[in-house]
Homo-oligomer: A and B are copies of this chain.
Amino acid sequence: MSDPTEPAPGHAAGGQPDAGHADGAHPGPALPAAVHSGAPPLVAVDAMGGDHAPDAIVAGAVAAAREHGLRIALTGRPGQLRPLLAGLGVTAHGTAGHGSGRHGPARHGAEPGEIWLVPAEDSVDMGEGALAGWRRPRSSIAVACQLVRRGQAAAVVSAGSTGAIVATARLRLRPLPGVARPALAVVLPTRPGPTLLLDAGAIADPKPEMLVQFAQLGVAYAQVALGIAEPRVGLLSIGAEPGKGNKLARRAHELLEADPPHGGLPISFTGNVEGGDLLAGKVDVIVTDGFTGNVALKTLEGTAAFAGRQLREAIGGSRAARLGALLQRRGLRELSERLDAETYGGAALLGLEATVVIAHGAVAARGAAVAVRLTADLASAGITDKIRERLGPARGAHFLRRP
């Protein structure tokens, strides 16, 4: 097994033949040096995942690279990606450039960003599930994960099928020491600040001990990405008292109240929260099993969409339709943005050697750019190191500090 911290300067990633040759394109430039070289971290972007891939993903990645000076490796079919990049004014030598006249120059003071193209001849359809992790070793998401294993990329982002991404990442990326299973973390648009919910569906039948690990993952995320110094952690259950809940929740409650194992950092556990508290902002991190978390998240999204439809119907059906249209412009847009996944970038699979951000399958270019930015921010802030620290020296001492 190769050392992921070993730089691979000049190594053309992926190892697949560049099909781009066949239709006249030339191979991509050599990938930059590895994660710890001091340069901004490289983000591996699965250009082929998503309902509107590759167009929306490439456009979002280029926009993010230009606006925030990011370094991005796009994985996918060169024959499809090169024309898209050319159309966006991205030069062949790997920098995002200053854009074509149509897109205008990069903002003054911002780094221009850099984009590499890493060939991946296969891709995963949106309808495919977890089996794609094994069946498609040369998919764009698998190649993106390989960039991490080779020490070239620091994080991965994809808008593909959640099941396929989770399975591929679990197969191709190593778990952090002390993490039995990674968890899917989703930011809920609560007020005044956001709340992180995990696991939102990575593992349907976790052990109670895993929920304590999820709490550590969530605390690290909340500190790094949400800027909360000491995040409060709640356990999703069906009553405030410790004895309330199913067997899993009752045992997890006991474990969360005890000292973390393996010398892990203490957790500010505030007790149980209920489904009605998901948007109440009572805590910063809510932990639960992936079955309950997924049902709760989809219930939340479905109810928000239902409320929106009902309101539009009520407005449309009344004589106040014109006034309603006015109001919609002013008020409803803000509401729908708060409940819109595109504004907070997507779910994050936490607990592997690199963070994998899963954007909503339906993202357009703007949502893809937000997701790429989130991925870069998590990598820059060193979230995996933070997680190693939180999980305790007894488990991950030799990973705590890089040379």
**Chain A interfacial positions (CB closer than 8 Å to B):** 129, 163, 201, 204-205, 236-239, 241, 245-247, 249, 274-280, 288-292, 294-308, 310-311, 314-315, 317-320, 323-324, 326-327, 330-332, 334-335, 338-339
Instruction: Please name all residues of chain B whose beta carbon is closer than 8 Å to the beta carbon of A279 when the two chains form the complex.
Output: 302-303, 306
Residue of B nearest to A318 (CB): B330
Q: Chain A interface mostly helix, strand, loop or mixed?
A: helix
CB distance from A109 to the nearest CB of B (A): 33
User: In the complex, what residues of B have CB within 8 A of residue A291's CB?
Assistant: 237-238, 245-246, 249, 292
Among candidates B129, B275, B307, residue contacting A297 with C-beta atoms closer than 8 Å: B275
A238 to B289 Cα, complex, angstroms: 12
**Are A296 and B318 interface neighbours, CB within 8 A?**
no
Cβ-neighbour of A201 out of B238, B249, B276 (below 8 A)? B238
Could you tell me the distance between the alpha carbons of A310 and B302 in the complex, rounded to whole angstroms?
16
Taken together as a complex, chains A and B put the C-alpha atoms of A394 and B301 apart, in Å, by: 43
Contact B331 A318 (CB under 8 A): yes
Offer 21 A-B interface pairs, CB within 8 angstroms, sorted by A: A204-B246, A246-B289, A246-B291, A275-B296, A275-B299, A276-B298, A276-B299, A276-B305, A278-B302, A278-B303, A292-B295, A299-B299, A300-B303, A303-B304, A311-B332, A314-B330, A314-B334, A315-B327, A315-B331, A318-B330, A323-B327
Instruction: Give the chain B neighbours of A326 by CB distance below 8 A.
Output: 320, 323
Determine which of B241, B294, B327, B339 lies in contact with A324 in the assembled complex, contact meaning CB atoms within 8 Å.
B327
Tell me if A310 and B335 are in contact (CB < 8 A).
yes
A276 to chain B, nearest CB (A): 3
A319 to B326, CA, bound (A): 11
**Inside 8 A of A318's CB, which chain B residues have their CB?**
327, 330-331
Is B323 a contact of A335 with CB atoms below 8 Å?
no
- Whether A277 lies near B292 (C-beta < 8 A) is no
Q: Complex formed: what's the CA distance from A323 to B246 in Å?
A: 47
Q: What B residues does A277 contact at CB under 8 A?
A: 302
CB closest chain-B residue, reference A308: B307
Docked Cα-Cα span, A277 to B294, in Å, equals: 13
Q: Is the Cβ of A275 less than 8 Å from the Cβ of B304? A: no
In the complex, what's the smallest C-beta–C-beta distance from A295 to chain B, in angstroms? 4
Closest approach, in angstroms, between the C-beta of A257 and any C-beta of chain B?
Answer: 19
Complex contact A163–B239 (CB within 8 A): yes
Instruction: Say whether, besides A275-B299, A291-B246, A300-B299, A129 and B241 are in contact (CB < 8 Å).
Output: yes
